[in-house]
Amino acid sequence: MKKLNNLLFLAMLMLMSAGAWAQGAIMGTVTDNNGEALVGVSIGAAGTGKSTSSDVNGKYSLSLPNGSYQINFVYTGYVPVSRAVTISGSNMTLDITMESSDNTLEEVVISTGSRNTQRTITDSPLPIDILSNNDIRSTGQTSFDRALTYRVPSFNSVQTPVNDATSLLDPYEIRNMGPSRTLVLINGKRKNTSSLVYIQTSPGRGEGGADLSAIPTDAIKRVEILRDGASAQYGSDAIAGVMNVILKDRYEYGSVTLNTGITGKGDGEMIGLSINNGANFGEKGYVNYTAALSYQALANRPGDVDADGEAGDFGADLDDVRNFLSRYPDAGNVNGDPEKASGRFLINAGIPVGENAEIYGNAAYVYKKVNSFANYRTPYWRGPEDNPYAVLAAAQGKSYDGYLPTFEGDLTDYNATVGLRGEKNGWNSDLSYTTGYNQQLYTVNNTRNRTLGLNSPLAFKPGGYAFQHNVMNIDISKMLVDNLNFSMGAEFRQETYEIIQGDTASYVGTGADSFPGTRSNNASKNSRNNIGGYVGLGFDITKDFLIDATVRTERYSDFGNTFVYKLSSRYKLMDDKLTLRASYSTGFRAPQLHQIYLQISQQSFVPGQGIQNKGIFNNASPQAKLLGIEKLRPEESTNFTAGVGLKPNSNLNITLDYYNIAVDDRIILGSEITGTGDPTNALDQVLNANGIVAASFFTNGINTRTSGIDMVLSYRNVQAGSGKLGFNLAANYVLYNKLDSASTVSEYEEADGKQSNYLNYTSVANGSVNNPALIENAGKSLFDPTQEALLLTSRPQFKAILGIDYAVGKFNFALNNTLFGSTTFRQAGLNQNLKTVFKPAVVTDLAFNYQISKTLSLGINANNLLNVLPKWELKARNSVGEAILADPAQVKTQSNLITFNQRYAILTYDGSQFGQLGTTLAANLTVRF
């Protein structure tokens, strides 16, 4: 027995020895063109599931059984490398040099714009921009959405001067289409929209979009921006295009980044910390996560207030006003970029199931807090009578100097997706579930409810908003024959929108001064469901000529069915150096639940007149029916694009695309409707009988048409000394952005100079407004000059971005110039014979990066290097306007009207093409591990 055991032991040793001799290892170092180690290169043996990555010194080791293999080396921003090796029981050394490639993104297989065969950007029949993580980070901007403004000409984001809830997220849009007409995807799945509707007189008014600032920059692998209508592929909201944020997946390296910054005036201090890390499982499995914290202090840009304007507006004694302003030249106002803090976490993972399937998922959680301010309540604006602040000042032996209400917003946003995708017998399938939620809760401090007098609290909870969606998707595709691809899919979506009631003191009577709370009769919770499906075909007629077609139908529980389609084509010439492409599509956008149910109305008792109502009344309210406001219906659109691409060589790429977008029944938040002052007028009779003082509504008020040209030129790898230069030029020119004509109307003109002619106003845009008869017959309009300017002329007609970068050794320099064309506003209160024009401006950004060591890099940004600020001027619309501008006293009056007596001297009340902070300096230090 003992001998048998010895024999078995000897046999095991022999087997183990044989196994050991049958193993080998590949080892080596991976470097770049300059001999610098590359950290986190993904290295795998094809078909084995075995992989590793390079360490901080670029070294790697991969053990494999005897045999022949193809070893793949993959690293973002570098040309992939493959080597054939044979393992024969011994270790071997394989050192690799990887070439950097500025053209890498052009060869990335994109996942946006087609449900059929995935293609590279050069093969796509649609205009698509791809931005890498480095493209976004190199802007030095504090958030993802602001970075896009300085990278994509057709994308615009604005910081509003009067913040309130808008301080939590800035309005943005593509091609002047508003935030609600660009669909945002995370890894191809719908991102939930924000619960906020912009109601300030700023671009984006009456709409809401996804919170782009909630996405941590370090979690982004790339961004694909489809500049074309895509309702047939993705459903509602994709009228202007689609933004697909692709998250980092396979682990390459971990990193910790410390960010800091400050404005040229020494305020707005910023500090941030971001960690990106992960792990790989075999050849395909991965987990990648990002955690980010940031804080930004207040950056304040108030103007010196005009005493004469103040005295006139508030009926105050001029000497009292001057005395106050001598101590507080800015009247205590705070106007700028508010204090904000945020925490973000995002995780993305994939787990292989067998050879051809994968369970995948991603989840993100964001908490953001913002502290902004309302206008300072001066002592001549809010007097000491029944004022707790006057009592408090007297108790402290001080004079009463007014008070500054704060607005504090707490935002929570999360989204998560889990799914299973795979391939069997040539059929590709993807089944997923997505949920998303956005909640905003508000706090108003250092203010009072004047109705409550000395019994008023000084802090309030005015309520907030919440939005949630749950989405189920199934997508199936198959290559039927070599050149014909079939796809189909379905989506079920459930949406819920909630208006959260405030505490009683925040809304009773006049409500909290500066931001009244949500009344119980305005609070509500409403839901709807929709189900949709699509079918698509992609036909490569030849290797150069392709056609894609998609049809889609959807049914909403609250308004019924819709049907849309899309056709696109691409043709290559001259050995793929010239590409022609075009598409035509119909689209739709369902009314947002926010637009159907939002109600912000106040009630007050007026002796002899009873309860008086004013504010925004929802589309289903009795007040809307009284004034003839119709039930909201879906917007419908047509979108035509045609473009040409030229690629003479691998380093030069030029694209030129024309677009034409028509939107019918476009939803707007209408202008405030008041009486005419004539008690015999039918409108006045309805308003007076129902106690309505002033009312605004969401309505399908207008048809619009927008056309323009996008141009992108990229010239890379230009040898300059021992380094390489790269040039990028991108531009957007709006040819036409007006109301679409449904009937013949005349252009507004005040020939006799009488301001009352405004009552007969019709759009200067040569289109009609869908006014109810009661409102139209009273000489009123749901779309006044202020709304028209916000919608049609508040974005630059021309915007261009010229970038130059130079890489040499461990250094990289980038100079970026953004030309913002002029914009035009017509602020409420401005004489209708005038308009406000913001002049064109060039904003210059400089970026510098130094690779200190293999694992340590330093980046420095000087944004708006030349401290360019928005500049505006009043211009005449006619001869009457010219006479006004010839009178300095009237010019001063009009200037005070649109800046609140110079409080908002830089941006006016409505905003500008770019921000008012001037130069900002930022630095970041990144450690890789």
Structure confidence at residue 467 as a pLDDT band (50, 70, 90): very high
Q: Is residue 754 in some structural domain?
A: yes
What SS3 class is residue 536? strand
Give residue-wise pLDDT tens across range 627-652. Answer: 999 999 999 999 999 999 999 988 89
Residue-level pLDDT at 588: 92
Pick from 67, 120, 60: nearest CA to 93: 60
Query: What's the CATH number where 78 sits?
Result: 2.60.40.1120
Structure confidence at residue 604 as a pLDDT band (50, 70, 90): low
Residue-level pLDDT at 820: 96
Structure confidence at residue 47 as a pLDDT band (50, 70, 90): low
Pick from 70, 97, 63: nearest CA to 86: 70
Name the residue type at position 44.
Answer: G
Residue at a domain's end among 101, 122, 157: 101
Give residue-wise pLDDT tens across range 876-927. Answer: 999 999 999 999 999 999 999 999 999 999 988 777 889 999 999 999 999 9
Residue-level pLDDT at 758: 27
Lowest mean pLDDT, pick from 251-265, 577-591, 610-624, 641-655: 610-624
Residue where the block lists tokens 């309009």: 781
Say whether pLDDT at 779 is over 80: yes
Please state, for a pLDDT cut of 70, what percent of the chain lies above it.
Answer: 90
Residues 6+ apart with CB under 8 A from 298: 267, 268, 334, 336, 337, 338, 339, 371
Residue-level pLDDT at 393: 92
Say whether pLDDT at 213 is over 90: no
- Determine the Cα–Cα distance for residues 737 and 176; give it in Å rounded to an integer: 8
User: Can you give the C-alpha Rg of the chain in angstroms?
Assistant: 31
Residue at a domain's end among 101, 134, 164: 101
Domain count, the chain: 2
- Determine the Cα–Cα distance for residues 701 and 666; give it in Å rounded to an integer: 6
For residues 499-518, average pLDDT = 93
Residue where the block lists tokens 């027995």: 1
Task: For residues 14 and 122, state if they share a domain.
Answer: no
- Determine the Cα–Cα distance for residues 913 and 554; give it in Å rounded to an integer: 37
Task: For residues 6 and 20, state if they share a domain.
Answer: yes
Residues 6+ apart with CB under 8 A from 906: 161, 301, 303, 869, 870, 912, 916
For residues 48-70, average pLDDT = 82
Task: For residues 175 and 191, state if they share a domain.
Answer: yes
Q: Is residue 421 in some structural domain?
A: yes
Lowest mean pLDDT, pick from 13-17, 691-695, 796-800: 13-17
Pick from 329, 332, 333: nearest CA to 305: 329
Q: Angle of helix 307-314 relative to helix 318-327, nearest 10 degrees?
A: 130
Residue-level pLDDT at 200: 82
Structure confidence at residue 766 as a pLDDT band (50, 70, 90): very low
Q: Is residue 394 in some structural domain?
A: no
| Number of Cα atoms under 13 Å in the Cβ half of residue 262 | 5
Give residue-wise pLDDT tens across range 180-196. Answer: 999 999 999 999 999 99
CB atoms within 10 A of CB 322: 13
Task: For residues 71 and 189, state if they share a domain.
Answer: no
Q: Is residue 380 in some structural domain?
A: no
Task: For residues 143 and 95, state if they share a domain.
Answer: no
What SS3 class is residue 882? helix
For residues 335-350, average pLDDT = 95
Q: Angle of helix 888-899 relative to helix 307-314, nearest 10 degrees?
A: 70
Residue-level pLDDT at 9: 42
Q: Is residue 323 in some structural domain?
A: no
Give residue-wise pLDDT tens across range 572-585. Answer: 999 889 999 999 99
Strand partners, 449: 512
Residue where the block lists tokens 């064109």: 840
Say whether pLDDT at 317 is over 70: yes
Give residue-wise pLDDT tens across range 139-180. Answer: 888 788 888 999 999 999 877 766 677 778 888 889 989 999
Give residue-wise pLDDT tens across range 121-139. Answer: 666 788 888 888 888 888 8
Say whether pLDDT at 16 is over 70: no
Say whether pLDDT at 733 is over 90: yes
Residue-level pLDDT at 115: 60
Residue-level pLDDT at 30: 93
74: domain range?
Answer: 2-101
Quick check: 498 and 525 in contact, CB under 8 A? yes
Task: For residues 80 and 151, state if they share a domain.
Answer: no
Say whether pLDDT at 208 is over 50: yes
Q: Is residue 168 in some structural domain?
A: yes
- Determine the Cα–Cα distance for residues 84 and 78; give it in Å rounded to an integer: 19
Sheet holding 81-87, edge to edge: 50-53, 42-45, 67-74, 81-87
Burial (CB count within 10 angstroms: exposed 0-12, middle 13-18, buried 19+), residue 425:
exposed
Task: For residues 237 and 274, state if they share a domain.
Answer: yes
Give residue-wise pLDDT tens across range 407-441. Answer: 999 999 999 999 999 999 889 999 999 999 999 99
Residues 6+ apart with CB under 8 A from 658: 641, 642, 643, 707, 708, 709
Three-state SS for 109-157 is EECCCCCCCCEECCCCCCCEEEEEHHHHHCCCCCCHHHHHHCCCCCEEE
- Looking at every residue in the chain, the average pLDDT score rounds to 88
Q: Is residue 309 in some structural domain?
A: no
Residues 6+ apart with CB under 8 A from 191: 184, 185, 210, 245, 415, 436
Residue-level pLDDT at 102: 52
Quick check: 900 and 304 in contact, CB under 8 A? no
Say whether pLDDT at 611 is over 60: no
Residue-level pLDDT at 761: 32
Quick check: 842 and 916 in contact, CB under 8 A? no
What SS3 class is residue 169? coil
Task: For residues 95 and 150, state if they share a domain.
Answer: no
Residue at a domain's end among 75, 101, 127: 101
Residue-level pLDDT at 108: 56
Say whether pLDDT at 11 is over 60: no
- Determine the Cα–Cα distance for residues 687 and 381; give it in Å rounded to an integer: 29
Residue-level pLDDT at 609: 52
Residue-level pLDDT at 482: 80
Residue-level pLDDT at 435: 98
Instruction: Specify which of 56-65, 388-397, 494-503, 776-785 reaches the highest per-range mean pLDDT.
Output: 494-503
Task: For residues 55 and 158, state if they share a domain.
Answer: no
For residues 352-359, average pLDDT = 91
- Determine the Cα–Cα distance for residues 682 and 247; give it in Å rounded to an integer: 58
Quick check: 648 and 612 in contact, CB under 8 A? no
More confident of the two residues 5 and 490: 490
More confident of the two residues 929 and 865: 865
Residue-level pLDDT at 10: 42
Query: What's the CATH number where 537 sits?
Result: 2.40.170.20
Residue-level pLDDT at 68: 87
Residue-level pLDDT at 63: 84
Structure confidence at residue 765 as a pLDDT band (50, 70, 90): very low
Structure confidence at residue 214 as a pLDDT band (50, 70, 90): confident
Residue-level pLDDT at 872: 96
| Number of Cα atoms under 13 Å in the Cβ half of residue 554 | 25
What are the structure tokens assigned to 242, written together?
A: 């689609």
Task: For residues 199 and 256, state if they share a domain.
Answer: yes
Strand partners, 97: 31
For residues 7-12, average pLDDT = 42
Say whether pLDDT at 847 is over 70: yes
Residues 6+ apart with CB under 8 A from 557: 528, 529, 530
What SS3 class is residue 677? coil
* Sign of CA pseudo-dihedral 313, 318, 324, 327: positive
Task: For residues 669 and 817, state if they share a domain.
Answer: yes
Quick check: 419 and 359 in contact, CB under 8 A? yes
Strands (E), 574-672: 578-589, 600-606, 610-616, 635-649, 652-669
Quick check: 550 and 587 in contact, CB under 8 A? no
Say whether pLDDT at 504 is over 80: yes
Q: Is residue 74 in some structural domain?
A: yes
Pick from 296, 301, 303, 304: nearest CA to 265: 301
Task: For residues 578 and 663, state if they share a domain.
Answer: yes
